Amino acid sequence: MSRTTIHDIARELKTSAATVSRALNDHPSISTATKESIRKAAQRLNYRQNRTASSLRSGKTFVVGVIVPSVQISFFGSVIHGIEQVIKNQGYNVLLFQTNEQYEDEVQGVQTLLQSNVDGIIASISKETIKYDHFLEVKHRNIPLVLFDRSIDELEVPAVVIDDYKGAFMATEHLIQQGYKRIAHISGPQHIRIFHERLRGYVDALKAYGHQVDGDLITYGKLSIDSGRACTQHLLRLAHPPDAIFAVEDFSALGALQVIKESPWSQPGQIGLVGFANEAFSAYITPSLTTIDQQTALMGQEAATIFMNLRQEESNPTGPPQKIVLEPTLVVRQSSLKRQETID
Amino acid sequence: MSRTTIHDIARELKTSAATVSRALNDHPSISTATKESIRKAAQRLNYRQNRTASSLRSGKTFVVGVIVPSVQISFFGSVIHGIEQVIKNQGYNVLLFQTNEQYEDEVQGVQTLLQSNVDGIIASISKETIKYDHFLEVKHRNIPLVLFDRSIDELEVPAVVIDDYKGAFMATEHLIQQGYKRIAHISGPQHIRIFHERLRGYVDALKAYGHQVDGDLITYGKLSIDSGRACTQHLLRLAHPPDAIFAVEDFSALGALQVIKESPWSQPGQIGLVGFANEAFSAYITPSLTTIDQQTALMGQEAATIFMNLRQEESNPTGPPQKIVLEPTLVVRQSSLKRQETID
DNA sequence: CTGAAAGCGCTTACAG
DNA sequence: CTGAAAGCGCTTACAG
């Protein structure tokens, strides 16, 4: 019942384990006839390569570690999908680590992936992370590291992001063009670049259209439904409340929408709302959520492709790390459309 | 720059690799003093165990393979979360494989996981799968295999499911109690047990309440928004259309809801709707979707716990495989509430 | 085109 | 309590 090894095949065919190994790996110096008979024997004996042994010897595991806050956020699920598409064809697999947005889990994840000898790591950092030693270790060990979406400039590693500034600008511009006058922003943790960029895009769009930037209308949330609720409650209680909200991501926007719907004096249609991320639920809520699409599958594919290229280079830092910036798209749905006020 | 090994530590402390290995694994026969100094040296030299080498020698990888149709379905994301919670504490990690509901991908996934020497596999089968040889091989190799949700009785392996019959009965009963008279069912592939069970629950609830079971009102879909749309269009075009629909899962229900909303002569509130799974979006669509909750996190935890127990047994089949059946819960939201007809 | 031999970095009976 | 030695199943220079 114990598993077939290359030695079993070698014995069967009266050849050597080396030849069997070469044949199964399609090594050019093995004759076609030999390869053929070895392959047949392998199949007959139900041979399966022992990847662990192969990895130990060759130094390659064909495993890519993927670190994300949570697969339950459809954005990350979708990116993982894109990653898998690309690497599967090259014989790679995904070893998954969820951080639950916790710094400690992220550190532990990196350690585990290092111990597992992954051939590379593709990651999006947790919102709690403000120290990067664990990622620096990856870099110093010359293990290909690619960040996506939530990247960290100071790490100086390749990254795939969308143009968050531009996306935020478009979102805000859209609200302005709809005729909203006091546009608030629910932002996110500023140490993560993308959230800061979105804030910048918001501010610059207001300025570009001659709107005043009012610090009271900018709140800092935590990227969750509950946080979106809290921020919105705060905004609606202002002496001079907003007539529109641009939320830094869709979960915050969803929280905002809930509060808006519950509040008697602020129905949807009166308060414009735009999110960011085009989460799975965003098209189906009511009103459906106007948001910024991030080309998630493409983001995953690009990150995986960078890894594939990096993998060969082997520690020759050829200039600054590659950075791919994808174009955001505005997806207009109902939540941002301004209702005609003539009814009142 | 090459990685520290136990030999490096041994040399440093003038002891043997065997002792270093034992000390780092907290072997009882090593003195506390020795352990202490070895641990310190390991830390100082930034030692990280090479899991590949450890696995090859010990035969354990501390990796659990998880096979699911797609992490983008929040149900599966949530179960994976539950699995990770349990196994992380025991030092295990998740090697992820998505099948995209394709039989070929599932077979390939199993092969890869076998080659990777995973210590066990936790899986939910693809809807396209009707042959199970790949899973039989796992079983025959004595690798712990646990199925969840979409399980296969004939494989005779442990499984965690919810009581799908009961959930479907509850869903249908709820619609009956709301006063709906012609309740349709959008079902799923019948070779997967849970979908057949849900159909049974639907039929039996109708019978239990003296409703007629009308074959015209039962359609067989493919578990997707589009499929739900198609089935619903078909149902609404019947000479004698339904006044309520119980959908086999939430994506089908979402498709149904879209068609209902688009159709001028069948607004929500007139056509009752219940789904199954309590997907992430279900609470937020309008009308919010009444559905059956499946205790996803618990399902993952239970599956992981079974694996943990199985792992020790080592091929002594002690009676029939364990089967855990979780209780479903009816989550009543707006989509199933019957509007008073007095308005007309 | 093929084989013998070394070795990847651990773990673990066996011996003391 | 500690060490020497074998070996997990591969891959790969080296030699022919």
| B147-202 pLDDT per residue, tens | 999 998 888 999 999 999 999 999 999 999 999 999 999 999 998 999 999 999 99
What percentage of chain A exceeds 70 in pLDDT? 95
Interface check A70 vs B, CB under 8 A: yes
pLDDT band with cut points at 50, 70 and 90 for residue A82: very high
Do residues A170 and A210 share a domain?
yes
Helices then strands, each counted (H, E), chain B: 12, 12
The answer, for B286 touching chain A at a CB cutoff of 8 Å, is yes
Which pLDDT value is given to residue B344?
A: 38
- Residues of B within 8 A of A281 (CB-CB) are 280-281, 284-285
Of A3, A56, A142, Cβ closest to residue B52: A56
Kindly state whether residue B55 falls inside one of the protein's structural domains.
no
A249 shares a domain with A179: yes
Whether the per-residue pLDDT at B57 is higher than 90: the answer is yes
Q: Are residues B204 and B246 in the same domain?
A: yes
Q: Which residues are within 8 A (CB) of B83 and not within 5 positions of it... i.e. 6 or more apart? A: B64, B66, B94, B122, B300, B301, B303, B304
CA atoms within 13 A on the CB side of A241: 18
Whether the per-residue pLDDT at B139 is higher than 50: the answer is: yes
Contact, A24 CB vs strand D, < 7 Å: yes
Element (H, E) at A303: helix A296-313
Per the CB < 8 A criterion, the answer to whether A68 and A36 are in contact is no
- According to the model, what pLDDT value does residue B264 have? 72
Q: Do B254 and A284 touch (CB under 8 A)?
A: yes
Nearest to B123 by CA among B343, B332, B303, B293: B303
In the stretch 190-249 of chain A, residues with CB closer than 8 A to chain B read: none
According to the model, what pLDDT value does residue A159 have? 95
Does residue B225 lie within any of the structural domains? yes
| Residue B232 domain flag | yes
A-chain CB neighbours of B254 within 8 Å are 284
SS3 content of chain B, % helix, strand, coil (to 5): 45, 15, 40
Binning pLDDT at 50, 70 and 90, where does residue B235 land?
Answer: very high
Q: Collapse the DSSP code of A277 into the 3-class scheme (helix H, G, I; strand E, B; otherwise coil) and give the result.
A: strand
Interface mutation vs chain B, best among A60, A61, A93, A117, most B CBs within 10 Å: A93
Residues A221 and A264 in one domain: yes
Which nucleotide's C1' atom has the smallest distance to the CA of B54?
Answer: C10
- Taking alpha carbons only, the member of A332, A322, A328 closest to residue A158 is A322
Tell me the Ramachandran region of residue B59: left when phi exceeds 0, alpha when psi lies from -120 to 50, beta otherwise. left
Q: What is the DSSP letter of B207?
A: H
Measured in angstroms, what separates residue A114's CA from nucleotide C9's C1'?
A: 15
Contact between the CB of B270 and strand D at under 7 Å = no
Quote the minimal CA–CA distance from A211 to chain B in Å.
33
A24 pLDDT exceeds 60? yes
Q: Residue A263 above 90 pLDDT? A: no
Can you give the distance from the CA of residue A30 to the C1' of nucleotide C1 in angstroms? 6
Contact between chains at B95 and A97 (C-beta distance less than 8 A): no
- Residue A52 near residue B117 (C-beta atoms within 8 A): yes
Mean pLDDT of all residues in A13-25: 92
Shortest distance between the Cα of A115 and any Cα of chain B, in A, equals 5
Nearest residue in chain B measured CA to CA from A92: B112
- Whether residue A280 is predicted with pLDDT greater than 70 in this model: the reply is yes
Output the distance from B29 CA to C14 C1' rounded to whole Å. Answer: 15
Mean pLDDT of B71-82: 89
pLDDT digits (tens, 9 = 90+) for B257-296: 999 988 876 555 689 999 999 998 898 888 899 999 999 9
Whether A54 maps to a domain, the answer reads no
Q: Would you state the structure tokens that stand for residue B330, as one six-digit string?
A: 């009816």
Percent of chain B with pLDDT over 70: 95
User: Which residues does strand C reach (CB under 7 angstroms)?
Assistant: A 14-19, 22, 28-34, 53, 56-57; B 2-7, 17-18, 21-22, 24-25, 47, 49-50, 53-54, 56-58
Suggest the residue from B47, B49, B56 to mutate for an interface test with chain A (most A CBs closer than 10 A): B56
- Say yes or no: Cβ of B22 under 7 A from any atom of strand D: yes
Residue A207 and residue A339 in one domain: yes
Is A280 inside a domain boundary?
yes
| Same-domain pairing of A200 and A274 | yes
| Same domain, yes or no: B209 and B338 | yes
Q: Give the pLDDT of residue B206.
A: 97
pLDDT band at B256 (very low <50, low <70, confident <90, very high): very high
Q: Are residues A92 and A207 in the same domain?
A: no
Do A116 and A234 have their domain in common?
Answer: no
What is the bridge-based pairing of β-strands A93-98 and B93-98? antiparallel
- What pLDDT does A242 receive? 95
> How many distinct structural domains can be found in chain B?
3
- Is residue B189 reached through a cis peptide bond, with omega within 30 degrees of 0 on the bond before it? no
Of B61, B70, B115, the CB nearest to A49: B115
Statement: the CB of A238 is under 7 Å from strand D: no
Whether B336 has a pLDDT exceeding 70, the answer reads: yes
Who's near A147: CB < 8 A, 6+ residues apart? A122, A123, A124, A125, A155, A157, A158, A159, A160
Looking at the fold, whether A37 and A173 belong to one and the same domain comes out as: no
- Helix pair angle (A74-88, A296-313), 10° resolution: 40
**Same domain as A335, residue A224:** yes
Residue B156 token pair: 């005779």
pLDDT at position B56, please?
94
Q: What is the spatial distance between Cα B242 and Cα B238, in angstroms, rounded to a whole number? A: 8
User: Smallest CA–C1' separation from A13: which nucleotide?
Assistant: C2
What is the per-residue pLDDT for B320? 80
Is residue A56 included in any domain, yes or no? no
Residues A25 and A73 in one domain: no
B11 touches chain A (CB under 8 A): no
Q: How confident is the model at residue A317 (pLDDT cuts 50, 70, 90)?
A: low
Within 7 Å: CB of B24 and strand D? no
Q: Is B312 on the interface with A (CB under 8 A)?
A: no
Q: How many CB atoms lie within 10 A of CB B241?
A: 17
Q: Is the pLDDT of residue B253 over 50?
A: yes
Question: B147: domain CATH number?
Answer: 3.40.50.2300
End-to-end CA distance of chain A: 81
Asked if the Cβ–Cβ distance from B81 to A70 is below 8 Å, we say yes
A191-205, B5-19, B141-155, B307-321 — most confident range: A191-205
Q: Chain A closest CA to B207's CA: distance in Å? A: 34
- Inter-chain contact B95–A96, Cβ cutoff 8 Å? yes
- pLDDT, chain A, mean: 91
Confidence bin at B317 (pLDDT 50/70/90): low
Q: What rounded mean pLDDT belongs to chain B?
A: 91
Nearest to A187 by CA among A148, A130, A245, A238: A245
- In the DSSP assignment, the letter for residue B336 is G
Whether residue A342 has pLDDT greater than 80: no
> Does some domain include residue B1?
no
B51: nearest nucleotide, CA–C1' criterion: C10
More confident residue, A320 or A90: A90
Residue A86 lies in a domain: yes
Q: What is the DSSP letter of B217?
A: G
Closest by CA position to A171, among listed A150, A163, B108, A73 = A163
Cβ–Cβ of A48/B98 closer than 8 Å? no
Range of the structural domain that residue B239 is part of: 164-294+330-343
